[in-house]
Chains A and B, each alone.
Chain A
Amino acid sequence: MSAKSENLFMVSLKDAAAGGAIALALFGVLIGMKAEVASGLGGQLGIEYRWAAVAIAVAIVFGGRLLLNLFVWKTDKPVTATAKGFLPSAKPLAKLGKYAMPVFLVLAVVLPFLLMSAYGSRGSRQYLDLAILVTTYVMLGWGLNIVVGLAGLLDLGYVAFYAVGAYSYALLAQYFGFSFWLCLPLAGILAAFWGIILGFPVLRLRGDYLAIVTLAFGEIIRVVLLNWYDFTGGPDGISGIPRPSFFGIEFERGPGGFADTFGLEYNSIHRIIFLYYLILIMALATNFVTMRLRKLPVGRAWEALREDEIACRSLGINTTHTKLTAFALGAMFGGFAGSFFATRQGFISPESFTFIESAVILAIVVLGGLGSQIGVVIAAVVMIGGFEFFRGLEEYRMLVFGLLMVVIMVWKPRGLISTRMPSITLSGKKAKGISADLVQEGHG
């Protein structure tokens, strides 16, 4: 045994030395010498030597390779195998989903009061704003989940519907003076209409091609909004969008305002809390409708479409209609969220609807687990909440989040919650979840 470990050490040392030699040869030139216009020499080109940096780089390579050889690559018992035991396995996480649902819900409902009691009305405002933002993304994630998670249609231009919803409300309010409550359904209908418009040309497309066309569609909407100056205000955006009223009662100081009517002392936080509950209810409605549709024939047809389109057609399912309903419904919820966004911000411009927004929403859906509602919540909280929370870390947070996404995708390639729950069972009992590797991903 000792002879073997001796041998292991020698082999590892040799290997590490070879690695170090290569590193020395490379870094000696790459790092060690730096051509510089030396200011002291009157603009002449000189070489600066940095041997200390080379030594550090070579030491890292040598040491790192030696350690990896000793403990991972050449040994019989690699530490990574042991470490795997410490990583949480998939099963408890799926169980977590069952309990997480009510816990999340209760937490979401009492959140404003928790924050108010903890930070006071002034201090809690920023956290409430963050909660509103996260909930908006949860709603968008749930909307996109219909298209990508259930129907398996990869949509990279989802933000277009968000934009249609936002601009519908802003323009209807600006030109016709419509109120938020009237515009909300109209924005949803208009977004659904655009969803169908997008749906028609892409019906025959699958996978990558579909992704490209939806991406282009998202950009077209943004570019139109940007360039149609007379109508949309172009890059100036639209400002002075009316704030929502509490069913007709405005959030303002003085008689007739919300605080006055309900006998409260006026506080600007009332409106924020109202907005929070508004988006929470809208998001929960999205969730309710989606969960309901999943158990209806149309929802099952979406999932069947994701699994095998040809088999669907052989069973008499009109795949055109099925795809269009998925696009239209997903778009409709995007439109609702968009008009909420407009009323919350009071100002919108095409800058809020760039491709990166689509990418973030898609990332939330994919990281959370395609088709999983609770996964979307977790992913939105982690991605949006975490991203805003660590603003103090400045540019490092990008690095951290990039790394986090890579880790999640390596550890759980199908997203955090990837097991699929059957929509109906024969026994009537709750059936076991279906392992993700049996479920098809969207191919178009």
Chain B
Amino acid sequence: MSAWETNPVLTIEHLTMRFGGLVAIDDLSFNVGRGDITALIGPNGAGKTTVFNCVTGFYKPTEGRVVMNRTNGEHYLLERMADFQISAKAKVARTFQNIRLFGGMTLLENLMVAQHNPLMLASGYSLAGIFGLSTFRKAERQAVEKARYWLEKTALIDRADAPAADLPYGDQRRLEIARAMCSGPELLCLDEPAAGLNPKESGELNTLLQYIRKEHGTSILLIEHDMSVVMEISDHVVVLDYGEKISDGTAAEVKDDPKVIAAYLGVPDEEVDAVEEEVGI
């Protein structure tokens, strides 16, 4: 039995999202296993990012249920929670397809913003902070250390005090992952983390993701087009097409699924002819 069946961290049940008459996701159900790297793939417009937006609270699903099962045994119904609470309480962090960094702030500041909630608590909602109490200063030092750790892991430590907008594209992608990790997530949702990376960079990304999973026990759900990333690191692959799940299994199983091949590459001409004959065109 695989982790996504026995011990899911995220359970999506009958998720449907309609925009007016357009059905972006139609009755989608799948699980994300705890400690797994799960890839969500599918052709353009299949509804992958919409699933992400439903999970992270940026969209409210029309129907269905999204349950986050935290390690401490708490369950959260994500479809009912405000977006910022999903990150703060349910510990689901995400990155964006078009990178959303705080460009005018330094790398360190970006990572400090990600630790807003614990720091806010430590600063006594700013009151203790204004008077510079030692409890806050200690919490701040710890936050800086955590930021330093992630900057080292993403090889960005040399530019810690440079503005984020000055970074090259690949570094910005890594910084976004580091920022998401600084919020201490149990499920990390990455929207096309390898988009625009060269082969060397996407190799490094694989190493980073596997490190995150292994050392921090963070489950990862990622949307990806780069098959080298998907096939190499995912334990579980879910394939979407036109808002419906067409395949679900290990990378090897999905790769040979005729439905997946049809969705990506189309079907041979003979089959089209056969169907056309059947319906009498």
Contacts and interface: CB of A to CB of B under 8 A. Distances in A.
A binds B: yes
Interface stretch (A58-66, A172-180, A295-303): A295-303
A216 interface: no
B66 to A, nearest CB: 16
Contacts of A303: 102, 104-105, 109
Given A293-B126, A315-B113, A316-B116, A426 B160 contact: yes
Contact of A319 (B84, B100, B125, B129): B84
Chain B contact-residue range equals 35 or more
A296 B126 contact: yes
Interface in B23-75: 56, 58
Most buried by A among B58, B87, B147: B87
B213 interface: no
Contacts of B85: 316
B84 A434 contact: no
Contacts of A426: 108, 144, 147-148, 151, 157, 160-161
B129 A296 contact: yes
B96 interface: yes
Interface string B144-165: 1001100100000100110101
Contacts of B114: 315
Interface stretch (A94-102, A251-259, A305-313, A388-396): A305-313
Most buried by A among B84, B103, B112, B117: B84
A427 interface: yes
A314 B144 contact: no
B281 interface: no
A292 B130 contact: yes
Nearest to A431: B161
A10 interface: no
Interface string A115-129: 000000000000000
Contacts of B102: 303-304, 307-308, 311
B183 interface: yes
Contacts of B87: 313-316
B183 A316 contact: yes
B163 A438 contact: yes
B120 interface: yes
A425 B108 contact: yes
Contacts, number: 138
Contact of B104 (A425, A432, A439): A439
A434 B104 contact: yes
B56 A422 contact: no
Nearest to A425: B161
A438 B165 contact: yes
A425 B163 CA distance: 11
A397 interface: no
A312 B120 CA distance: 14
Q: By DSSP majority rule, is chain B's interface helix, strand, loop, or mixed?
A: helix
Contacts of B130: 289, 292-293, 296
Contacts of A270: none
B115 to A, nearest CB: 8
B93 A315 contact: yes
Contacts of A427: 160-161
B236 to A, nearest CB: 24
Contacts of A422: 105-106, 108-109, 161
B222 interface: no
B118 to A, nearest CB: 9
B253 interface: no
A310 B85 CA distance: 13
Nearest to B121: A297
Contacts of A313: 58, 83-84, 87
B183 A315 contact: yes
B117 A316 contact: yes
Contact of A307 (B86, B103, B123, B161): B103
B51 to A, nearest CB: 15
A438 B129 CA distance: 28
B17 interface: no
A300 B84 contact: no
B245 interface: no
A423 interface: yes
B246 interface: no
Contacts of A319: 84
Contacts of A431: 106, 161
Given A314-B94, A438-B163, A292 B129 contact: yes
A301 B116 contact: yes
B84 A317 contact: yes
A420 interface: yes
A5 interface: no
A80 interface: no
A293 B120 CA distance: 11
Nearest to B189: A314
A37 to B, nearest CB: 63
A317 B161 contact: no
Contacts of B101: 307-308, 311
B105 A296 contact: no
Contacts of A7: none
B114 to A, nearest CB: 5
A317 B56 contact: no
A310 B99 CA distance: 11
A313 B85 CA distance: 8
A424 B144 CA distance: 9
B179 interface: yes
A314 B83 CA distance: 7
B104 A438 contact: yes
A267 interface: no
Given A296-B130, A438-B163, A440-B103, 19 more contacts: A292-B130, A296-B126, A298-B123, A298-B129, A307-B101, A313-B58, A314-B58, A314-B83, A314-B93, A315-B84, A315-B179, A316-B86, A316-B117, A422-B108, A424-B140, A425-B108, A426-B144, A438-B103, A439-B104
27 contacts: A293-B130, A296-B123, A297-B112, A300-B113, A304-B102, A307-B102, A308-B100, A308-B102, A311-B100, A312-B84, A313-B58, A313-B83, A315-B87, A315-B116, A315-B180, A316-B116, A317-B117, A318-B84, A422-B105, A422-B109, A424-B108, A425-B160, A427-B160, A431-B161, A438-B104, A439-B104, A440-B103
Closest 5 CB pairs of A and B: A439-B104, A316-B88, A316-B87, A307-B102, A311-B100
